[in-house]
Amino acid sequence: MRRAGKLIIIIGILLILVSFGFMLYWHISSVRAELDVSDTLIKLKELLPPESIGNPEEFFSMEMPVLELDGRDIIGLLSIPQTDTELPVAADWNKRTLIALPQRFSGSTYDSSLIIGGYDQKGQFDCLKKLDIGNEIFVTDMTGAKFSYTVSDIQRKKSASYEVLSDPASDLTLFVRDDGSADYIIVRCIRKIFE
């Protein structure tokens, strides 16, 4: 009986150490990713041409230009003034590298179908939890064209399939899986039109 009790205590201690190791690894990965995003953002801002007002009609039939930066293909700069957030957006969706940068899930800002997903961590898409309807969001492409959007709807869903995310009434969709609830926060935006 004493041996069984000691074995249970040893297993418990080992499980606690393994859990602590995973938490430490996750924390270090998050801090590294945040520093990496900051470094990429600085380089991207230095390389972007002067800003101009984005007019999708000018670009409608073309693909979004890509800038290769530090081994990543970048299609734009996402700015959310409400949360003081600026993030480079990677061109291609890859769940394994999502912790590094928000990524284009599908679409283009030019045809009002852009869907961007990110990771729920400090300095990345944790900011979506703080948004309200009416907040402004900007996407600047690699030509310097800045497209303006207004948050029109915020939803929570159990999945983030293409069918759930795509919405013809939205010109821009941002989404993140909320680590706290495991729901997906989906922020839908409409494009501001400048006459």
- Give the pLDDT score at 62: 82
Cβ neighbours for 96, distance < 8 A, ≥ 6 positions apart: none
Does the pLDDT at position 2 exceed 80? Answer: no
- Give the pLDDT score at 24: 65
Average of pLDDT values for 118-125?
86
**Domain interval for residue 180:** 46-191
Q: How many domains does the chain have?
A: 1
Domain harbouring 176, CATH code? 2.40.260.10
> Is 3 contained in some domain?
no
**Pick the residue with more confidence: 14 or 115?**
115
- Contact in structure between 75 and 168 (CB atoms under 8 Å): no
Write the CA distances from 135 to 55, 87, 116, 170, integer angstroms. 20, 17, 17, 15
Using the Cα atoms of residue 121, residue 123, residue 125 and residue 129 in order, give the sign of their dihedral: positive
> Is 94 contained in some domain?
yes
> Is 74 contained in some domain?
yes
- Contact in structure between 188 and 114 (CB atoms under 8 Å): no
- Give the pLDDT score at 55: 76
Average of pLDDT values for 148-155?
97
> Is 23 contained in some domain?
no
- Give the pLDDT score at 86: 94
**Pick the residue with more confidence: 159 or 188?**
188
Phi, psi of 54 (to 5 degrees): -75, 125
Structure tokens at 127: 């900011």
> Is 145 contained in some domain?
yes
Average pLDDT, the chain: 86
Q: Residue 76: which pLDDT band, with cuts at 50, 70 and 90?
A: very high
> Is 66 contained in some domain?
yes
> Is 130 contained in some domain?
yes
| Other beta carbons less than 10 A from residue 111's beta carbon | 14
Does the pLDDT at position 190 exceed 60? Answer: yes
> Is 118 contained in some domain?
yes
